[in-house]
Amino acid sequence: SQQGEEDPQALSIQEGENATMNCSYKTSINNLQWYRQNSGRGLVHLILIRSNEREKHSGRLRVTLDTSKKSSSLLITASRAADTASYFCATDTKDNDMRFGAGTRLTVKP
Partner 1 sequence: DTEVTQTPKHLVMGMTNKKSLKCEQHMGHRAMYWYKQKAKKPPELMFVYSYEKLSINESVPSRFSPECPNSSLLNLHLHALQPEDSALYLCASSQETGGEQYFGPGTRLTVT
Compose the 45-64 pattern: x for residues touching partner 1 by CB under 8 A, - for all others: x--x----------------
Q: Tell me the CB-side half-sphere exposure of residue 52, using CA atoms within 13 A.
A: 0
Q: For partner 1, which is the closer residue by CB, 11 or 15?
A: 11
Closest approach of Cβ 80 to partner 1, in Å?
Answer: 22
Residue 83 interacts with partner 1 (CB under 8 A)?
Answer: no
Our finding on whether 82 is near partner 1 (CB under 8 A) is no
Dihedral (CA of 101, 50, 29, 42) sign: positive
88 scored as a contact of partner 1 (CB under 8 A): yes
Told to check if 40 binds partner 1 by CB under 8 A, we report yes
Q: Measured from the CB atom, is 44 or 81 closer to partner 1? A: 44
DSSP string, 18-83: -EEEEEE-SS-EEEEEEEEE-TTS-EEEEEEEETT--EEEETTEEEEEETTTTEEEEEE-S--GGG
Beta-bridge partners for 13 = 108
Task: List contacts with partner 1 (CB under 8 A).
Answer: 1-2, 30-31, 33, 35, 40-45, 48, 88, 92, 95-103
